[in-house]
């Protein structure tokens, strides 16, 4: 006797086994729409602020070239007390190389403040419980630079790809993750910069209600072009 996929799912669940059934023709579409519906509010907020800056401070806007601003290395670990609950089940570390690309959209103020829309790119390793996986990230953001103080404050949010989904006792959920960060950078002489950022990784409930993420404190050294 043959059963349709929906009938088979019904028989399977009625037998006392709880599982996930996928319709081969509709499953990918459902997953894609689910991911789209979870489009990070952080990114929408950044884009909204960019539009607001464009309209409000149109007289201060400057069109710059798209350019590579800096490259560097970064590393750090999670904290049980300085993170977003629930805390991690394992001790995580992240190490990566990164690049920051400046967009044409920027605003300069007479007070010495400069605001610029940037793209943050990173590739590296996420490690916990003796297991290591690849992590790649793409995240747009806004940078607020005070030239007189040699400081840059930046925020951003975007997406990440993880080659490993489970580290010891913690299941991150899936390969596609949402990332967000806030940080500060001090610009040294010799085109060097030192920075710190709070870095959040989670699936934003893409793979279910259990969306325990990873919060890291990352320290970076970069070279400015």
CA neighbours closer than 13 Å in the CB half-sphere of residue 196:
2
Cα–Cα nearest to 171, from 198, 199, 218, 209: 209
C-alpha R_g of the chain: 21
**Predicted local confidence at residue 52, as pLDDT:** 63
**Predicted local confidence at residue 143, as pLDDT:** 96
Residues 6+ apart with CB under 8 A from 77: 91, 92, 93, 94, 216, 217
**Predicted local confidence at residue 50, as pLDDT:** 60
Q: Is 47 helix (H, G, I), strand (E, B) or coil?
A: helix
**Predicted local confidence at residue 83, as pLDDT:** 77
**Predicted local confidence at residue 59, as pLDDT:** 56
For the chain, which ranges sit under pLDDT 70? 1-63, 211
Please state the domain extents for the chain. Answer: 23-224
- Tokens representing residue 128 in the block: 């916990």
Q: Which residues of 149-164 are buried (b: 16+ CB within 10 A; e: fewer)?
A: eeebebbbbbbbebeb
**Predicted local confidence at residue 82, as pLDDT:** 77
What class has domain 23-224? mainly beta
Report the predicted TM-score, pTM, of the whole model to 2 decimal places. Answer: 0.73
Torsion sign across C-alpha atoms 90, 87, 134, 74 = negative
């Amino acid at each position: 006797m043959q059963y349709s996929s929906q009938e088979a799912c019904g028989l399977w669940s009625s037998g006392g086994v709880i599982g996930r059934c996928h319709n081969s023709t509709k499953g990918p579409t459902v997953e894609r729409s689910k991911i789209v519906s979870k489009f990070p509010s952080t990114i929408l907020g950044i884009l909204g602020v960019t539009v607001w800056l464009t309209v409000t401070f149109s007289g201060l806007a400057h069109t710059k070239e798209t350019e590579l601003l800096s490259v560097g290395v970064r590393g750090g670990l999670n904290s049980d007390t300085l993170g977003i609950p629930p805390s991690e089940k394992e001790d995580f570390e992240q190490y990566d190389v990164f690049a920051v690309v400046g967009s044409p959209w920027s605003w300069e103020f007479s007070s010495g403040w400069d605001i610029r829309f940037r793209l943050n790119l990173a590739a590296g390793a996420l490690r916990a419980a003796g297991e290591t996986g690849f992590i790649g990230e793409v995240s747009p953001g806004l940078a607020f630079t005070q030239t007189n103080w040699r400081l840059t404050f930046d925020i951003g949010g975007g997406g990440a790809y993880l080659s490993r989904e489970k580290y010891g006792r913690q299941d991150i959920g899936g390969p596609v993750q949402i990332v967000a960060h806030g940080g500060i950078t001090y610009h040294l002489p010799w085109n060097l910069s030192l920075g710190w950022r709070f870095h959040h990784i989670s699936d934003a409930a893409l793979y279910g209600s259990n969306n325990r993420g990873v919060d890291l404190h990352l320290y970076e050294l970069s070279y400015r072009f």
